[in-house]
A and B are shown apart, each in its own frame.
Chain A
């Protein structure tokens, strides 16, 4: 980190995104969301509100679910970030994708990347979540289309699929 960086200067941020080492030149207060979308072309992460309320910008940062619209990119220096585009490599992804498709968990799809990341985060911490755990785990992700019912079913179904494997 360049301590003597003047206002307006960009800095180099090195981090891992979806398993790949990345180097970006950005203002330290650039939002991680914007760096992912605009510098790295990873447009799967969405902006729904810009205030950390809707969760459609959720990513995993060192294994923790965070709202990327609230993370200055400088704080992601050295971190490992996973976005929806990197989820193909995750063991939970296939059961979740199948379950979301089968149960109707995705309607317009805009909240879906964030929801899936939140679901992954939940299932990593609680491999066999109760209904209340699923509700709580997804409480920071707003969906306007589904009324949440089929999203809960999808997560519960993915849990069963994964256990069955």
Chain B
């Protein structure tokens, strides 16, 4: 344990307004902490520079999952366990439920939160590609009010987000229009559990009249931010899935991503696996389409 608790403050206002006031009053000084599964690791290693933390684990509004006819809104402090247990999430948003099951072991899923995953903004985070393909919208709240932001615009660079200094992630909305899609997710890590991903794919596809009506692809760990493969998607739309298309998609994927060498893996490996995962998805989508 390489941090001195005496050098840190952790306050627990217990209600959202008080949290927002603190964030507004001494902006850029207070860091919200929910489940702590990212922050406490940094803290224990002596690598958490923020000395002032606000507890948001106990804010009820942040822990609800609200279901509406056209969307669901997931409170930012909903845990992965809560996501895995929610009927609508598992049925209509399987990519998110699956990602939740991949994040750490059960103990970490009981504490880790979706909002925390987003705010921490690691490009390797497991749930973020799913949010991209589901066209998620984030609600950001401050004393100035609440605003919606398309999640695809949230990450601006490596660990740089659109979150203002006085803002808190309030919730994540997902439109309920993906039930008819074929979904496929694959995480590639150093082992089958408790692993930071080397490459992670969340994919949705819909076929119509033997061609791709809609393909949605997002990858983690291949760029400074979780990446939606817009170019590759566009090149796939309206096409028939055959070997030449899959080859084209592979090349397109490799062109779109910007993987690096790091302590976990290499850029070349990541590129090759990313291409493989997309190819695998397309083959499965074709098989699914043939079945329909």
Which A residues are closer than 8 A to B by beta carbons? 1, 3, 5-8, 26-31, 34, 47, 50-53, 55, 58, 64-67, 69-72, 74-75, 77, 118, 121-122, 136-137, 139-141
Contact = CB atoms under 8 A, between A and B. Distances in A.
B108 A30 contact: no
Given A7-B8, A52-B107, A65-B107, A31 B194 contact: no
Given A29-B43, A50-B44, A140-B104, A75 B9 contact: no
A74 B41 CA distance: 17
Nearest to A30: B5
Interface size class of B (residues with CB under 8 A): 35 or more
A7 B10 contact: no
B193 interface: yes
Nearest to A69: B44
Nearest to B104: A140
Contact of A7 (B51, B81, B105, B108): B51
Interface string B28-53: 00000101110011011100000111
B107 A53 contact: no
Contacts of B81: 64
Interface of B: 1, 3, 5-14, 18, 33, 35-37, 40-41, 43-45, 51-53, 55, 57-58, 81, 104-108, 110-111, 192-194
A52 B41 contact: yes
Given A3-B11, A6-B9, A70-B37, A52 B51 contact: no
Contacts of B57: 75
B58 A52 contact: no
B41 A70 contact: yes
Contacts of A29: 3, 5, 8-10, 43, 53
B108 to A, nearest CB: 6
Contacts of A65: 106-107, 110
A30 B52 CA distance: 14
Contact of A69 (B40, B104, B110): B40
